[in-house]
Amino acid sequence: MQRFFSFSTGILLSLLLVACGGGGGSDNNLTSSPTPNNNSSEPPPAPTWTFNVYPPSDQFINFCADPRSGGDPYNNYQPYPDKAGTAMHEKMWLRSFTNETYLWYDEVEDNDPKQFDSVTAYFEQLKTNEQTPNGADKDQFHFYESYESFQKQAQSGVSTGYGIGWAVISTTPPRNFTVAFVEPNSPAANAGIVRGDKITAIDGVDFIASPDTDTLNAGLSPSESEPHAFVFESVAGEQKEVTLTSMDIETTPVRRAQVLESNNRKVGYVQYNQFIPTAQQGLIDAFSLFRQQQIDDLVLDMRYNGGGRVIMAAQLGFMVAGNQSLERVFTTNTLNDKRQAEERSTEFESRVIDWPNNAFTEQLLPSVSLPRVYILTTRGTASASENVINGLRGIDVEVVLIGDATRGKPYGFVPAQNCGTVYYTIQFASENAKGFGDYADGFMPSGASSSGEIGLTANVPGCQVSDDFSQPLGSQQEALFAAALQHIETGTCPAQAQFAPAANTQRLNQQGGAVTVPQHPARDGAIWMFPEERNQ
């Protein structure tokens, strides 16, 4: 049971087109007040913390210990809103913002901010410590990143790395990071790295068992133009010694759209890795092909899709279900008890989005209007991808899962920027049209039929099948795709399905031998939208 992470380690129509299930608009949907730039060298006195007393967050926003100067290249070179402040201002903004918007704000301990050496260290503990019924952390999605990194990834899918999508089997000894896929024309592709290759060493350090996690983490999460020496082992046992130099790489979120014949039925297949704006045209092309070929069945390969923009998930739902989904609820957000008046629903979306202008167009998306869809899943299937599963089930489209249990993220956020850092803190939970959202431990392919089921559960009809790294994605011999084709033909699952080693569920930043998983918050999340802006 692996988890997937990308190779670099997704407030109104602009805000609407963003929430992770995000960014958009001139400031890409970041919650940040447009306070005038005032880079005075004399900051005001640091604010004082009083236990359980929370002043409004806007009293502290944009007061920065290290204010930026000049213009923002991602916002038409408008002046940065930063003003001279202190680290305590930044911590107090995080504290009040969390108390105002965090879904489980009443489960956050109010620790003295002065006890923490840095702003980000303080942010890391501004979260619930409760657990899911299966014993996992309830909030596994608390992240931060630089403003520049956010902008590159959120709009264009650009991240710094080698072009490798990792399947993370274990972060602790014996560690196992296996290549899930490789971006074309990337450093990894040019070095001959392929799906199924496993890391055995980085910069001369044994990856599987060494306690030198600093060296390993430096190689896994490089800055731009950093060379690192890797040793990989192929599926056949071949050793590959390569030096990879990191670079900014634009991801290819939609791949391998094809139509094939299986038992006199036309089956469409497409691999879809991320709900970002650059994916829209690829999905349009794929579903135009499927509609032209009049497919009978559809296989969506979302085993490595960690999420992104909810509005794009609503678009995908329409492309699958067609007119039967129009004017029906795709997902409803539920907020904390301070914000219940803001709760909204998102409908299935049939329109193409003009992303450069953050506006809907009159152009309609192609749709195959199917009553059933097969979705290939692993623990890397999360957030907005899970919204698709849940949203379609909410309008009685039959969903059949092939693979492993999904990640379990019925939550999302609107990225919030302050002083050059973008913070991701859970702000809403999701439910479908039937009011179901109880899948914090993931959707599980159950092998059972949903016929006659009273109410929905997290068990979804389908087959538990191990991810198959010995075959290319999209191959009819690859285990998950082959199982889907068998189920389409016979309604049965493979006789035997053995899982890969279970993913390590401990905290990823834990000391004592755990490496840090390379990831991107905007990718591994669901970005929310608000429907009242749909006509702007």
Residues 233 and 265 in one domain: no
In a domain, 423, yes or no: yes
In a domain, 6, yes or no: no
The whole domain housing 189 covers 158-250
444: left (phi over 0), alpha (psi -120 to 50) or beta: beta
Residues 163 and 111 in one domain: no
Residues 258 and 229 in one domain: no
Q: Which of 114, 149, 184 is the last residue in one of the domains? A: 149
Residues 331 and 379 in one domain: yes
Give the residue from 231, 252, 226, 257 showing the smallest Cα distance to 242.
231
In a domain, 475, yes or no: yes
Residues 42 and 122 in one domain: yes
Structure tokens that stand for 382 in this block:
């999360």
Residues 292 and 372 in one domain: yes
Q: Which of 149, 181, 198 is the last residue in one of the domains? A: 149
Residues 171 and 42 in one domain: no
In a domain, 129, yes or no: yes
Structure tokens that stand for 319 in this block:
């492309």
Residues 368 and 237 in one domain: no
In a domain, 517, yes or no: no
Residues 360 and 487 in one domain: yes
Angle at 146 (CA atoms; ends 145, 149), nearest 5 degrees: 95
| pTM reported for the whole predicted model | 0.85
Half-sphere exposure of 283 (CA within 13 A, CB side): 31
Q: Residue type at 423?
A: Y
Residues 243 and 280 in one domain: no
CATH code for the domain in which residue 223 is found:
2.30.42.10
- C-alpha 179/C-alpha 177 separation (Å) is 7
Residues 106 and 196 in one domain: no
Query: What count of other Cβ atoms lies within 10 Å of the Cβ of residue 492?
Result: 11
Beta bridge partners of 72: 78
Residues 235 and 293 in one domain: no
Q: Which of 229, 250, 271 is the last residue in one of the domains? A: 250
CATH code for the domain in which residue 383 is found:
3.90.226.10
In a domain, 1, yes or no: no
The answer to whether residues 8 and 159 touch, using CB atoms and an 8 Å cutoff, is yes
- C-alpha 100/C-alpha 130 separation (Å) is 19
In a domain, 3, yes or no: no
In a domain, 387, yes or no: yes
- The pLDDT profile of the chain, 536 residues, written as one tens digit per residue, is 454 443 333 222 333 344 556 323 323 345 554 444 445 578 999 999 999 999 999 999 999 999 999 999 988 899 999 999 999 999 999 999 999 999 999 999 999 999 999 999 999 999 999 998 888 899 999 999 999 888 877 666 788 899 999 999 999 999 999 999 999 999 999 999 999 999 999 999 999 999 999 999 999 999 889 999 999 999 999 999 999 999 999 889 999 999 999 989 999 999 999 999 999 999 999 999 999 999 999 999 999 999 989 999 999 999 999 999 999 999 999 999 999 999 999 999 999 999 988 899 999 999 999 999 999 999 999 999 999 999 999 999 999 999 999 999 999 888 999 999 999 999 999 999 999 999 999 999 986 544 445 579 999 999 999 999 999 999 999 999 999 999 999 999 998 644 333 333 222 222 336 666 554 433 444 443 323 333 32
Domain count of the fold of the chain: 3
